[in-house]
Amino acid sequence: MHTNVAEFLEDISGFLGSYYLTLGIMNALAALYLWKQRGKGALALLWLVVGMVYVILSPLAMSGSAAAVPQLPEGLRNFIDANTGPVIYSVGTTAILVILYLFRAFFVRPVVAWSILNLSLLYMGLSMADPEFAAIVTKPDNVPIVALVFLLGFFTWLATSKAVENDRRAEEGLPPQEKEDNEKVLVWPDLVYTELICMLALTAILLLWGIGLKAPLEEPASSVKTPNPSKAPWYFLGLQEMLVYFDPWYAGVVLPSLIVVGLMAVPYIDFNRKGNGYYTISERPFSYLMFQFGFLELWITLIILGTFLRGPNWNFFGPYEIWDTHKVLALNNVDLSQYFWEGLLGRGMPKASPGAPTFTALGYILLRELPGILVLGMYFLLLPPLMATTIFRGFFVKMGFVRYMVLANLLLFMASLPIKMVLRWSFNLKYIVSVPEYFLNF
């Protein structure tokens, strides 16, 4: 960890300098590309100017002096740290996804997409001048996640712009773009050469990556020195983040199993025959939205949260905040049964007298947790038929009983996570059903 900011800036100046230079070149190339097309001169000029700004930033960053290195104002960083938390983060990312979806026709326009890319890269650069931010992002095992975020952004843009185009064509009664390319070509040379070039490029990338970034190696394993925080490998951090809201049996065993089963079930529950073999959104909005929500929001953003924003004791830390082991957050979460018996009825929780036979004790536990059991029972047993006769009526008719039940239950399990999150944030609800006697908390 860099305690001395001046030293830190010195260290990172080389990286930042070449980073901005690369961004400058990137924009210059875009300008060149547009210049060659007719009638895009104004845009070319725009990106040329942007590129030049980066080229000016580059030596400033290279200087490594606190006064010159471009960075976010301290006040803004403190504001971001003070005002972010799991709630803002999750609600915010969901809202962003919704906006991107609703106005997708606008966001896929190359000018807009390129501007967003530029802004996010600039934001990265400015943030990298912050020692805390840099310390986490440049941890060798975290670098791939940064790559993942940008790759996902790019491919989502690519897929969405193709889908938007195809949907527009469909409105005009034209077949999808993919259909235009129906001509057959020989695999040698067309595919074999592409593959060869890909392999060479990948080998080069892997070698450069290997030379540029050392694999991490910490102190030798010690079973007595527990690091704080102890984190699973990055691709499981979404699951670890779920542990905030659920017990391990559910977040660590049941939900992951259901993710695998649910993914396998996808082709068998998606009865919509349209949208096979081309990009489209409006011909399959339901499956599209469910997948995007599950993948981008419940998997990817949770991984990002778990990696970059969860520090010691799994507390939330803003992106520029020092990971202080002593940060204490008051936890006053309350079980539903407690809300019911003590809050609502104003009496003690039902409890078997000590030494009562197991059977009696069990009866009391059931009684105590009755409110939660009823809630869960309604959620998992009542909702599927209810939905079948209302919002999912069409689905139910087309899918038949078994398929529909599989779909409904998978959706309910998936929804249990965001629902529990919201309940926790708004009511400090700890468990809906809490039977610690049998490790059965939900």
> Any idea what DSSP says for residue 21?
H
Residue 197 Cβ vs another protein, minimum distance, rounded to whole Å: 10
Half-sphere exposure (Cβ direction) of 235: Cα atoms closer than 13 Å: 3
Query: Could you tell me which of 84, 96, 81 has the C-alpha nearest to residue 297?
Result: 96
Choices 66-74, 100-108, 126-134, 143-151; region in contact with another protein by CB under 8 A: 143-151
What DSSP designation does 139 have? Answer: S
Within residues 16-75, the interface with another protein by CB under 8 A covers: none
Nearest to 315 by CA among 77, 84, 93, 135: 84
Residue 214 touching another protein (CB under 8 A): yes
Does 171 sit near another protein (CB under 8 A)?
Answer: no
Rule CB under 8 A: say whether 187 interacts with another protein.
yes
Q: How far is the CB of 227 from another protein (least distance, A)?
A: 5
Q: Which lies closer to another protein via its Cβ, residue 220 or residue 354?
A: 220
Distance CA 94, CA 80 (A): 18
Q: Determine whether 314 is exposed, middle or buried from the number of CB atoms within 10 Å of its CB (0-12, 13-18, 19+).
A: middle
Query: Residue 182 CB, nearest distance to another protein (Å)?
Result: 6
* 411 touching another protein, by CB under 8 A: no
Per residue in 142-166, is it b (16+ CB within 10 Å) or e — as a string? beebeeebeeeeeebbeebbbbbbb
Pick from 29, 82, 98, 192 the residue near another protein by CB under 8 A: 192
Which residues within the stretch 220-249 sit at the binding site for another protein (CB under 8 A)? Answer: 220-223, 225-227, 230-233, 235-236, 239-240, 247-249
> CB-wise, 70 or 248, nearer to another protein?
248
Q: Does 439 bind another protein (CB under 8 A)?
A: yes
**294-313 binders of another protein (CB under 8 A):** 295
Return the range that interacts with another protein (CB under 8 A); candidates 23-31, 97-105, 158-166, 338-346: 158-166
Nearer to another protein, 299 or 425 (CB): 299
Does 202 sit near another protein (CB under 8 A)?
Answer: yes
- Interface positions, 271-290, toward another protein (CB under 8 A): 273-280, 284, 288
141 binds another protein (CB under 8 A): yes
Q: Is 175 a residue that touches another protein (CB under 8 A)?
A: yes
**Interface segment toward another protein; rule CB under 8 A; list 11-19, 107-115, 204-212, 420-428:** 204-212
d(CA 176, CA 285): 17
Minimum Å gap between C-beta 126 and another protein is 25
Distance CA 336, CA 371 (A): 7
Element holding 114 (H helix, E strand):
helix 110-128
Options 73, 173, 267, 354; binder of another protein; rule CB under 8 A: 267
Helices (H), 233-381: 237-242, 248, 255-269, 285-292, 301-304, 336-338, 358-368, 370-377
CA dist., res. 16 & res. 8, Å (int)? 12
Interface residue with another protein, options 14, 189, 343, 377 (CB under 8 A): 189
| Contact residues for 229 (Cβ-Cβ < 8 A; gap 6+) | 310, 311, 312, 313, 314
Q: Do 251 and 237 meet the contact criterion of CB atoms below 8 Å apart?
A: no
Give the range of 2-10, 80-88, 156-164, 377-385 binding another protein by CB under 8 A: 156-164
Number of amino acids touching another protein (CB under 8 A): 91
> Is 181 a residue that touches another protein (CB under 8 A)?
yes
Which CB sits closer to another protein, 133 or 279?
279
> At closest approach, how far in Å is the CB of 354 from another protein?
18
Under the binding rule (CB under 8 A), the answer on residue 210 touching another protein is yes
Task: Judge whether 335 and 434 are in contact, CB under 8 Å.
Answer: yes
Q: Which stretch binds another protein (CB under 8 A): 98-106, 127-135, 170-178, 374-382?
A: 170-178
Angle in degrees, 0-180, between the axes of helices 86-102 and 401-427, rounded to the nearest 10: 130
